Every structure is written in C-alpha cells, then in structure tokens.
Amino acid sequence: MQRKVYDLSTPCLVVHKAKVKSNADKMQERADRAGVALRPHFKTSKCVEAAIIQTGGTKRCMAVSTLAEAECLQENGFEDILYAVPLSTSKIERCARLARAMNDFSVMIDSQHSLIALDSKNLGNDKQWNIFVKIDCNNGRAGILYSSDDALVLVNAIIKSNKLNFRGLYAHCGDSYHGTGLDCVHQVAKRTTLNVLELVERLKEESITCPVYGIGSTPTCSNPIPVMSKLTEWHPGNYIFYDVFQMTKGSCSQDEIACFVLTRVIGHYPQSNHMIVDCGFTALSLHGGGDCCGLTPGSGYRKIEGHPELKLAEMNQEHGLIRPVNESATLEFATYPIGTIFRIFPDHSCATAAMHRVFFIADESENIIEEWRPVSGW
C-alpha cells in the first residue's frame, strides 16, 4: 500500500521532489542566461540524488564542505569536485587519495602554510594538485584579502611549482545573509564581484591567467545582478531546498521551500496556554529563531504552515512548545486535538537537514516515492 506523508512516524523530514527539481532548474537557467558555469554546493542536502538533480545528471562540477561528502560523490561517479574549505594540512592524505582516484579534484587554500604542505606531497604519475585560492572580498569569513600583495604572492607561488595547478579564485558572499532587503544583497554581490574582477586584472598584469573566478551564496545567485555575468562561475547551495530565512531575504517564495519537518501535537497545557509537539531541536536544530537571522523578533522558531496564529516558541531536545503569536490570546485547544499534524518550515534548511538520517521524498500527490540518505561525518 502506498504510504502518504501523513502516514509517517514523527518527527521526520519530508522533501518535495518536484520543488527540488524546480529550484535546480531555475538556478541553472539563471546561470545560463548570465553565461556562467554553475558549481552547486552539496552541503545542504548531502544526498547523491539531489546532487544528480543539481548537475542536470552530468555528475560534474560540485562544491563540498567535508571530505566525507567528496568521498561519497567520488564513489558515485562524480568528477570536478572542489573541497571548498580552506585546507587543513591534517587532511592532505585523504585529499591525496581523492586526487589520485579522480581526474578532477580540487582543494582550496588561503595561506603559504597549506601551499608548502601540498608542494611537498607528491601525487605520482606526474599529477598536479588542482588549487583554488579562497579570497576575502571584505565578506568577513575566510580567505586571503583580495587587495593584498599576499594574494599575488600566493598565486605566483602556485604558478611556479611544478606540482601545483592554479585553477582559480573563489569568494563567498557570506555577508549577503546580513542586513535586510534585496538592496543589501545586491550591494554585497556588486562589491564582491568587482573585488574578484579587480584581482583577476592584477593577475593579468603579472601575465597570470585566471581560469575560473566565481562568487556564491543563495541570496546573490537567486537574484543576480548584471555585473555577475562577468564571472565564470557561481556556487550557491541552499537554493536546492530554500527555507524561511531565504524567503525573508527575497530569495524564494514559501511555495519554493522544498522541505519541512512533520510533527504531531502530543500534549495540551491550558494552565500555561501552550501545547507540545514531538519535535525538538534534534529534529529542527537551534539555528534561527525569530530574534536572529533577520527574522521577525519574537516570532519563534520556524514557520508552521497554514497556521499564522501559532509559533514554535521554545524547543527542548525532543519536543517543542507551541503558543499563540499574540501572547495575550488564549489557545483554542479544541482546534488542535491531540494527534494534530503540523508542517514546520525550517529557518535554516542546511542545519535542519543535518539532523536527519533519512529524508522522505514526496511527489505532488503526497505519496512517499523515495528515501534519501545523506552522507554524514567529516
């Protein structure tokens, strides 16, 4: 007998496959219109099935945040994988195994320390390390400052080594998650793009060709500006699922959020005007929650679909407390009998997805058609 969404044991993560496919198609169309390559990030879903959708079935050109992700993709026939975290020298042996097993595996560095370690590690068979340089375009996360002489020195050192191959520059628009409104997102995108292009020009002046130079973040790539077409590559990740935070940034509509956590009411407490559901922070994560991430202060954690009158006000490990949005209102408990099922959209789908060992994949008729199992660990 065909299982439906509401037959599932709660709490659980449900993903609408058609929305995943639609989100992937729309992002690819944006990149195609801009004339840039799309390097989707794997970190949101960590599921091979989603990566196949993100790459249009080509199994090429992905970014990952852990070596476990890279190993999973390599074992499933993917190529052109970038380990998009500044390299820790403690991970060089695992990276070497991946580089030897694949035709196209790249690492990212932002220091001479990592460069020296890679230069001393021979891959054999005349194979070179493929290297992206992570640059900081005043985004405040990681990377070597785009305007510094150190950036030129680092790229020059890569070029001079016969063991290293300079693949390009990578910048992440992490600060596009701060502030409010599309104007803020567009300002970050413009500044970051122009900073990257400035460094590309400085390299040209030293007769160095930069094969690949890109930026990324779901807010900037969901609403790209014309100057971003001067790049060669974009690398968003969260767009494959989207979430409430992305909705507040203007990256998506509620209808485009592809995942939700299913939960049931398991208790009524009139004396304190709340009810509890069988969904706590081990199913949703504690990332987000009204007073951070740019959401409405006091709005609680996540968004309860179809119930704007309710908020998930608190979470413990395995259960959550639901209260009225209007704190002076009295809950009508008869409206939400024990066993009532709610769908909760996550504030941050990357963090919520990481809480689950299996994703239940639904079709447009709410049938469960697949189960996806994300890779875990580092």
Selection from 89-93, 284-288, 295-299 with the highest mean pLDDT: 89-93
Report strand pairing: 274-277 vs 303-304: unpaired
DSSP label at 330?
Answer: P
Q: How confident is the model at residue 301 (pLDDT cuts 50, 70, 90)?
A: low
- Across the chain, the runs of DSSP E, i.e. the strands, are 12-16, 37-38, 60-64, 79-86, 105-109, 129-136, 144-145, 164-172, 212-216, 233-234, 259-269, 274-277, 303-304, 310-315, 320-324, 341-345, 359-362, 368-372
114 and 215, same domain (yes or no):
yes
83 and 134, same domain (yes or no):
yes
* Confidence (pLDDT) at 175: 73
236 and 289, same domain (yes or no):
no
Is 28 a member of any domain? no
Measured in degrees and rounded to the nearest 5, phi and psi for residue 205 equal -65, -25
Is 137 a member of any domain? yes
207 and 325, same domain (yes or no):
no
* Total domains, the chain: 2
Q: How confident is the model at residue 181 (pLDDT cuts 50, 70, 90)?
A: confident
Q: How confident is the model at residue 300 (pLDDT cuts 50, 70, 90)?
A: low
Closest CA to 187 of 239, 148, 151, 228: 228
Closest CA to 347 of 372, 375, 373, 315: 315
Is 9 a member of any domain? no
168 and 270, same domain (yes or no):
no
Measured in degrees and rounded to the nearest 5, phi and psi for residue 61 equal 70, 75
235 and 330, same domain (yes or no):
no
Q: Which among 189, 219, 241 is the end of a domain?
A: 241
Q: Which among 216, 241, 266 is the end of a domain?
A: 241
Q: What is the pLDDT of residues 256-273, one digit of tens each?
A: 999 999 999 999 999 999
* Confidence (pLDDT) at 178: 75
236 and 261, same domain (yes or no):
no
Closest CA to 239 of 27, 18, 15, 49: 27
Q: Share the mean pLDDT of the chain.
A: 94
281 and 214, same domain (yes or no):
no
Closest CA to 115 of 166, 78, 53, 48: 166
**Is the pLDDT confidence value at 292 over 90?**
no
79 and 166, same domain (yes or no):
yes
Is 4 a member of any domain? no
**Is the pLDDT confidence value at 2 over 70?**
yes
366 and 343, same domain (yes or no):
yes
* 35-to-101, 190, 340 alpha-carbon distances in Å: 31, 17, 48
* Confidence (pLDDT) at 278: 97
* Confidence (pLDDT) at 180: 75
Q: What is the pLDDT of residues 40-63, one digit of tens each?
A: 999 999 999 999 999 999 999 999
268 and 332, same domain (yes or no):
yes
Is 127 a member of any domain? yes
126 and 52, same domain (yes or no):
yes
Q: What is the pLDDT of residues 309-343, one digit of tens each?
A: 999 999 999 999 999 999 899 999 999 999 999 99
Is 75 a member of any domain? yes
Is 18 a member of any domain? no
* Confidence (pLDDT) at 191: 95
Is 309 a member of any domain? yes
Report the alpha-carbon distance of residue 133 to residue 23 in Å, rounded: 29
Can you tell me the mean pLDDT for 143-158? 96
CATH number for position 279: 2.40.37.20
CB atoms within 10 A of CB 90: 8
Parent domain of 276: 254-372
Report the alpha-carbon distance of residue 147 to residue 150 in Å, rounded: 8
Q: What is the pLDDT of residues 24-42, one digit of tens each?
A: 999 999 999 999 999 999 9
Q: Which among 241, 275, 303 is the end of a domain?
A: 241
Q: How confident is the model at residue 297 (pLDDT cuts 50, 70, 90)?
A: very low
Kindly report the pTM of this predicted structure: 0.94
Can you tell me the mean pLDDT for 349-355? 96
CATH number for position 214: 3.20.20.10
* Confidence (pLDDT) at 289: 64
* Confidence (pLDDT) at 291: 45
